Structure formats: structure tokens, C-alpha cells
Structure 1
Amino acid sequence: MQQLGVKSVNVLVNNAGISNPYMQSDSLAERAALWQGYIATNLTAPFLLEAVLPLMVQGEGSIIHVSSTRALQSERHSEGYAAAKAGLLGLTHAQAASLAPKHIRVNAVLPGWIDTSGTPEDITQEQHEWQWTGSVGSPADIAELVLFLADPAKSGFITGQHFVADGGVTKRMTYPE
């Protein structure tokens, strides 16, 4: 653990992963390879981050997994991404249970559409209005939620939970016209 150059860790945010959710291929072998990539990167790697546990501060330690609303709803050809992000929800509550004796909290954030494009002008007014909040999310929206969950003074009684930040989209009930 000396490789990290720190003596303690208060917060671990797992935000790395494969972000393209689509596995479009007619080849089962290609789809299986993509599946393995999603599971290895978006689910197994967050589990392996437990390597920092010996450095986590008991009573103040917080692990925050960044999942996705695709853990709760899907589009075609997104099986690997959806399964890995849903797996993070199971990992979240299982780690919360396992780490409870050490008073290390574990939670998950499920972002919806967050504009990380760098070209917000490409998002149409109709796309903004699809969100109940009237706009597509920004990285700052997710960062504020992560900061809240990282702060034991504000969220010390919260563990094993997942928080959807998606402008209300997952609660929409839409029928064909």
C-alpha cells in the first residue's frame, strides 16, 4: 500500500469503466468478448478496489460506486453494460454488509443522461425537455451527490443504498400514441 503514497483513505469513488453500452454484433463470440470486457472493467475492477481497505479510516470511510440508470432500464443490445451496472448495485449492498463492522459506508450513484460531450449546444431543446428537471444533467450534478455521500457529517447514517440522479426520467411512464 506504500505505492499509493498515502497513509489513509477516507473516500474511494469508483467511476472508471466502459461507457459505450452497445454490443451490436451478430456474432455470439464477439458479443461474449464484449460481455467479458464489461464485466471485467465495470464490475470486477470495482470489487478489486477493496485492495485499499486496509487504508480506509473506520467510521469515516466511504466507498461510492458510480453505476447507471441502465442498471434499472435498458435499450436493445446493452446486455453487458446493463448487467455490469446492475451488478454494482448488488456489490454495493453486499460490501455495505461486509464492511459494517468497520463502519465503512458503501453507496451507489446511478446517473442518467449526463452531458460529458463538451458540446452542450448539440443537445436539442426537446432532449432537455425530456428530463422532468428541464435539462440534461451535468458532471457537477453527479459530483455534488458524490460529495454528499463522501461526507460522514452529512450522510453518516446512509449505507447500502443507491441514488438515481436522472432528471426524473426513470420515473416516466410513456405509452405509444
Structure 2
Amino acid sequence: MKKALITGGATGIGKATAILLQQNGYDVYITYNQTKPDYEVNAIKCNLENIDEIESAVESIGRVDLLVNNAGVSIIKMINDITVEDYEKMTAVNERAVYFASKFSALKMIREQSGAIINISSMWGQVGASCETLYSMTKAGIIGLTKALAKELAPSNITVNCIAPGIIDTRMNNMFDAEELKEEVPLGRLGTPEEIAQAVLFLAESPYITGQILGVNGGAII
């Protein structure tokens, strides 16, 4: 049975992905920090701002066949209002944690000469968003990491891909008016966490796809 590790798997996209992977035969582990999962899954408490805790989480599950770097935080502010603390927290969770979770998992995958890493970025990492400069920067960094790491790990038969979700119906977007958000999407609705999960499963089971950025955004950017 393949083992999958999903960061930030207690709610939203991470939860939907964990459930779908379980339904498809994966032994799934998730990390969580403040919010405990409300469904049956192997859960590891892990503060992703702490590199030692990330390494411990990866080591605790033994073999890693699939890593899904899902966890992320968002801050909506003008750049002149961004503090050093904002910068440190967002880059720690959205970039540094992705980098080191990938490193520690890749070490195991290289020994097995197989594996898959899937990074959850954002459409704002592709085109940028006003008042989300910091979020856009970190999500663009994930795209760059995906492309570089795909080249580096390909000789070890490890795929690295990225999903760039559009406006998804998760608690991160609860502060906005849903009807107004729908007007920004050509398909006329918000995406669901389950639709992102389907994209994760597709890439996880596609051994000849690597280094790609898959937009799941309802046509919000084309």
C-alpha cells in the first residue's frame, strides 16, 4: 500500500484529498497544527514553521510514496501595511515548509527510485493579485520550485508537479461574498475542494507527467 503525506490535511483541500486518496487505496497521513481533523486519518501534529518538526513528521511515517504540499496561509494587506512578522510567517509556511518537506521526502523517494511530489500553489502565483503581494510571491515561488525539482529528481523516477487552484469554496475565501466571487469565474461558480483532490489523484497516478502546472480555476485565468 502506498503511503501519502499531506500537509495541512485537517480541513478544506487537504481533507478532501486525504479522503479521496484513502478511497483509492493509499495509507494517508496528514499534518495539522491548531485544527484537529474531524475524520478518520493518521494525524501528526506539526508546526510547519519549525523545520525540526517537519523532519520528525516525515521520519515518523517511514516510506513516503506521495507528498502533497497543501498547507498555506493568506494575508490580504497593502504592501505598505505588511509587517516583518507577516513576511516571516507566510514565507515560513508557504515556501520554507514546502521546500523542506520536499527535501526530507525526496531523500526517502530517491532510495526507492520512485515517488511523487505535488505542490498546491494558486492562480495568484501565476498572475499576481493586488493586496496579496506576499501571498502571490510565495505561491509563485512554489511554481519555481516545482519546475526545478522536477528536473533534479527525474533521474530517480520521481515526478514533481503543481496545482494552481482558482477560487475554491474553502474557509480561506469565507470572508468574501460568494456571489461576487462567482462573477469572476467564466464557469459561473466556485471550485470545490473535491475537484482539487481529483487533480491531485490524477497527477499522483500519472508517472509520465512532471514539471507541470495544472490550473484548476474554472477559466478565471486562461
Structure 1 residue corresponding to 2:131, chosen from 72, 77, 83: 77
> How large is the Cα RMSD of the aligned pairs?
2.3
TM-score, scaled to structure 1 = 0.80
CA pair 5-39 structure 1, distance change in 2 beyond 3 A: closer
Which of the pair has more CA radius of gyration? 1
- Give unpaired runs (5+ residues) of structure 1: 172-177
Structure 2 residue corresponding to 1:8, chosen from 59, 63, 67: 63
- In the TM superposition, what is the alpha-carbon distance from 1:32 to its structure 2 partner? 3.2
Aligned length: 161
**1:53-99 deviation line (CA, Å, top 9, x unaligned):** 2322423x100000000112233221111111000011001111111
- Separation (CA, whole Å) in 2 of partners of 1:112 and 1:104: 26
In terms of fraction of residues, the more strand-rich structure is: 2
- 1:169 is matched by which residue type in structure 2? A
Q: Is the 8 A contact 1:127 1:136 kept in 2?
A: yes
Structure 2 residue corresponding to 1:44, chosen from 82, 96, 103: 96
- Separation (CA, whole Å) in 2 of partners of 1:11 and 1:138: 22
Query: Percent identity between the aligned chains?
Result: 35
- Structure number with the bigger relative contact order (C-alpha 8 A, sep ≥ 6) is 1
CA pair 5-103 structure 1, distance change in 2 beyond 3 A: same
SS in 1 for 2:127: coil
**1:141-171 deviation line (CA, Å, top 9, x unaligned):** 10000000111xxx11110111111000112
Q: What does residue 109 of structure 1 align with?
A: 163
Structure 2 residue corresponding to 1:100, chosen from 134, 138, 154: 154
- Separation (CA, whole Å) in 2 of partners of 1:94 and 1:111: 20
**1:161 aligned to 2:212?**
yes
Q: What does residue 86 of structure 1 align with?
A: 140
CA pair 74-9 structure 1, distance change in 2 beyond 3 A: same
Q: Is the 8 A contact 2:118 2:162 kept in 1?
A: yes
| 4+ runs deviating over 6 angstroms | none
- 2:216 is matched by which residue type in structure 1? A
